[in-house]
Amino acid sequence: MNRTARTRALITCLLLSGCYTAFSFRLVHLQVTQHGEYAARAADIHVKRQTIYARRGVIYDIHGESLAQNEPVRTVVADGTLINDREELADFLAHALKLPRAEVLEKLGREKFSQSRQKNIPDQYVILKKQVPEMLATELKDALAARKLRGVYFEQESTRVYPNGQMLCHVVGFVNGESVGVDGVERTMERFLRGHDGFRYTERDRTGKEIVPYRAQEKEARNGCNVRLTIDIGLQNIVEQELDAAIKQFRPKSATVILMRPQTGEILALANRPNFNLNVQENVPLDHRRNRALSDMVEPGSTFKIVTTAAALTERIVKSGTLIHCENGFMASAKLRDHHPYADLSVNDILVKSSNIGVAKLAIQLGDQKFYEYVRRFGFGERSAVNLPGEISGIVHPPHRWSKISITRMPMGHEVAATPLQIVTAMCAIANGGRLMMPQIVSEITDDQGRIVTSFPPQEVRRVASKEATDAVNEALQQVVGPKGTAQLARVAGFTVAGKTGTSQKLGADGRYGHDKYVVSFAGYMPAENPAFVGLVLLDEPQAKPGQTYGGLVAAPVFSRIGEKAARYLGLVPSPEEPAGSVMAGQNVRSR
């Protein structure tokens, strides 16, 4: 080889070596130095975190009727980087989703700044429409595939549906836009109802199609638990219908009815008026959303006399036959009046005749501290801890804040404020022999396979009165509904009913009791010898004829109608001892 040829070969080798060295440096630079950046960019384009949505738990009544459940819907999302024909896609989607074409076109053409590429790129996540029904979404998907249009996908979501609409609205509650419970059982049982979304990291090809073999980390979704309430929808239906009838007849400002099983404290039905439709959340006044059974307090009126009487009998200060002088209708020292003048009344008759003076004298005999202790023992002045939001404790002032006449006013249900739930819970304690039960609204929690996760057994809070005392009060309460009592209209043909009426004047703006605004109530139970349920009917400012705004005339008939239907629904056997004549008498009384 001559010198020239050797020189040429050497130069060529050097050039080639230089080239390869340069390529090698570039390769090392790309693969090692800038590895992180390019790997991130590739992942940004191809790797997606796919959310696996968990199903929210269903709410059932005690018999398994669905009260709140999920309906799958889809959110239509566009990925600008995958769209192949923007104009045609806009035409198609605008027509299918009933959206303005210009709006769809604008959304499909949206861009956003990419940090990794340092330039504007088509937006990969543009929501076109939410809450698209599942069936429509399936049809759309097929149509898009047939037209070979890319860049649109359907995210799975679900919406909450309440099959019973207005019924039981204050108990079931509702969820917000993010499917988080904001009221009722939806809120208190949120930690059980809410599922835990899972996820999956997937790689996609340039058409956006998932490459299944390259699936990475994956976590399964955990569905929410189902909640079974103690509510019996059959009884709830009866209560709602009768409450509607009462609203139509008396046009009260508000009303509440609660049915509770005295032996366990299970709430069987709970209805308030005004109410609202759970499926239509727009423009519902806040006032309508309030669960008045827990969040409103009223002066209970004469229904509170059961507390005073049970306390006096438990303390053995008196017996049911002990005579109390009722001052012929006016107790001058306390400026206290009875509706009718009575001379001597037995403790039993004090309840039957609803004597304010008689019951005030019982409280005086008990003494301030003891009486206060019993009021608190019956659950007044404290939250019952029921699994519903918004419960208040009511107002029971301690003795050192009482006035001189407080001991004569509190026994008849004045100067004390209680929630309807507290009143019905106290009546349950009388009906079950003196045990204060914690009100229960949730029966059990089950997982999506039906296995019990948590159950809520009956809880006795404390014993509040002796069995002898509650038996005596029970005897008196049966007479209250008898021919001589104040609640004759609460009778139910074929059954013995026990209960107590309440009529309390409302405080006016000037802080004094008015004579035109009343809260009327009836709390009772049936059958009296073995109560299947305790009920409270409470109406705030009913529009009755003048002089007829009494618990016995307004609330008691509502209880009677509910009791009659509930007895049939529950299959209660009418008492064979109840003579036919008394049944007829009951019906006659009702029609008066």
Partner 1 sequence: MSSNRRRHANAIPIASFASWGIVALCALGGGLGYVWCKNQLYTTGTEIRALERELSGLRNKNEVTLSKIAQLSSTATLNERFATGFIDLVPITNDVIAVVDDAAPKAAVGELRPASNEREEK
Is 69 among the residues that bind partner 1 (CB under 8 A)? Answer: yes
Is 267 among the residues that bind partner 1 (CB under 8 A)? Answer: no
Indicate the residue among 310 and 490 with the shorter CB distance to partner 1: 490
Indicate the residue among 162 and 342 with the shorter CB distance to partner 1: 162
- Give min distance, CB of 186 to partner 1, in A: 16
CA 355 to chain centre: 38
- Contact assessment for residue 341 and residue 328, using Cβ atoms and an 8 Å cutoff: yes
Among the listed residues 179, 188, 223, 236, the single contact to partner 1 using CB under 8 A: 236
- Contact assessment for residue 538 and residue 521, using Cβ atoms and an 8 Å cutoff: yes
- Nearest-angstrom CA–CA distance, 537 and 473: 20
- Contact assessment for residue 556 and residue 589, using Cβ atoms and an 8 Å cutoff: no
* 3-state SS, residue 569: helix
Is 496 among the residues that bind partner 1 (CB under 8 A)? Answer: no
Q: Which two tokens stand for residue 34?
A: 């800038």
- Contact assessment for residue 566 and residue 494, using Cβ atoms and an 8 Å cutoff: no
Please tell me what DSSP assigns to residue 235: H
- Give min distance, CB of 217 to partner 1, in A: 17
Q: Which two tokens stand for residue 122?
A: 């088509």
Indicate the residue among 238 and 538 with the shorter CB distance to partner 1: 238
- Give min distance, CB of 142 to partner 1, in A: 11
- Contact assessment for residue 364 and residue 406, using Cβ atoms and an 8 Å cutoff: no
- Amino acid identity, residue 483? P
Is 548 among the residues that bind partner 1 (CB under 8 A)? Answer: no
Phi, psi of 210 (to 5 degrees): -70, 140
Is 70 among the residues that bind partner 1 (CB under 8 A)? Answer: yes
Phi, psi of 417 (to 5 degrees): -120, 130
- Give min distance, CB of 30 to partner 1, in A: 26
- Give min distance, CB of 70 to partner 1, in A: 6
Among the listed residues 71, 218, 220, 287, the single contact to partner 1 using CB under 8 A: 71
> Total residues at the site for partner 1 (CB under 8 A)?
35
Is 66 among the residues that bind partner 1 (CB under 8 A)? Answer: yes
Q: Which two tokens stand for residue 108?
A: 């499909």
- Nearest-angstrom CA–CA distance, 40 and 455: 49
Indicate the residue among 421 and 490 with the shorter CB distance to partner 1: 490
Indicate the residue among 73 and 538 with the shorter CB distance to partner 1: 73
- Give min distance, CB of 397 to partner 1, in A: 43
**Measured CA distances, 394 to 215, 299, 391, 529 (Å):** 58, 10, 9, 31
Is 165 among the residues that bind partner 1 (CB under 8 A)? Answer: yes
User: Please, which of residues 554-573 interact with partner 1 by CB under 8 A?
Assistant: 564, 568, 573
Q: 């769809």: which residue's tokens?
A: 104
Q: Please spell the DSSP secondary structure of 295-359, one letter per residue.
A: H--B--GGGGHHHHHHHHHHTTSS-TT-EEE-GGGEEGGGTEE-SS--SEEEHHHHHHHT-HHHH
Binding mask 215-234 for partner 1 (x = CB under 8 A): ------------------xx
Query: Closest Cα partner for 205 from 45, 39, 40, 44?
Result: 45
Among the listed residues 27, 42, 127, 135, the single contact to partner 1 using CB under 8 A: 135
Is 186 among the residues that bind partner 1 (CB under 8 A)? Answer: no
- Nearest-angstrom CA–CA distance, 326 and 345: 7
Tell the burial category of 370 from Cβ atoms under 10 Å away from its Cβ (0-12, 13-18, 19+).
Answer: middle
Among the listed residues 210, 373, 468, 475, the single contact to partner 1 using CB under 8 A: 210
Binding mask 362-401 for partner 1 (x = CB under 8 A): ----------------------------------------
Is 72 among the residues that bind partner 1 (CB under 8 A)? Answer: yes
Indicate the residue among 153 and 402 with the shorter CB distance to partner 1: 153
Query: Closest Cα partner for 43 from 152, 208, 202, 213?
Result: 202
Is 156 among the residues that bind partner 1 (CB under 8 A)? Answer: yes
Give the pairing of strands 226-229 and 59-60. parallel
User: Please, which of residues 399-438 interact with partner 1 by CB under 8 A?
Assistant: none
Looking at the DSSP assignment, which residues form a beta bridge with residue 50? 200
- Give min distance, CB of 232 to partner 1, in A: 11
Among the listed residues 274, 329, 367, 574, the single contact to partner 1 using CB under 8 A: 574
Indicate the residue among 118 and 591 with the shorter CB distance to partner 1: 591
Indicate the residue among 5 and 573 with the shorter CB distance to partner 1: 573
Is 134 among the residues that bind partner 1 (CB under 8 A)? Answer: yes
Q: 């099959």: which residue's tokens?
A: 163
Please tell me what DSSP assigns to residue 56: P
The crossing angle, in degrees rounded to 10, of helices 420-431 and 305-314 is 40
**Radius of gyration (Cα) for the chain, nearest Å?**
36
Stretch that binds partner 1, among 9-17, 23-31, 65-73, 393-401 (CB under 8 A): 65-73
Is 163 among the residues that bind partner 1 (CB under 8 A)? Answer: yes
Cis amide bond preceding 527, omega within 30: yes
Indicate the residue among 45 and 52 with the shorter CB distance to partner 1: 52
- Give min distance, CB of 438 to partner 1, in A: 27
Is 33 among the residues that bind partner 1 (CB under 8 A)? Answer: no
Indicate the residue among 91 and 210 with the shorter CB distance to partner 1: 210
- Contact assessment for residue 443 and residue 312, using Cβ atoms and an 8 Å cutoff: no
- Give min distance, CB of 156 to partner 1, in A: 7
Tell the burial category of 491 from Cβ atoms under 10 Å away from its Cβ (0-12, 13-18, 19+).
Answer: buried
Is 503 among the residues that bind partner 1 (CB under 8 A)? Answer: no
Is 493 among the residues that bind partner 1 (CB under 8 A)? Answer: yes
Among the listed residues 576, 577, 591, 592, the single contact to partner 1 using CB under 8 A: 576
Stretch that binds partner 1, among 22-30, 154-162, 508-516, 527-535 (CB under 8 A): 154-162
- Nearest-angstrom CA–CA distance, 231 and 222: 27
Is 138 among the residues that bind partner 1 (CB under 8 A)? Answer: yes
Indicate the residue among 116 and 237 with the shorter CB distance to partner 1: 237
- Give min distance, CB of 450 to partner 1, in A: 15
**Residues at the site binding partner 1, with contacts judged by CB under 8 A:** 55, 65-66, 69-72, 133-135, 138, 156, 158, 161, 163-167, 210-213, 233-234, 236-237, 241, 493-494, 564, 568, 573-574, 576
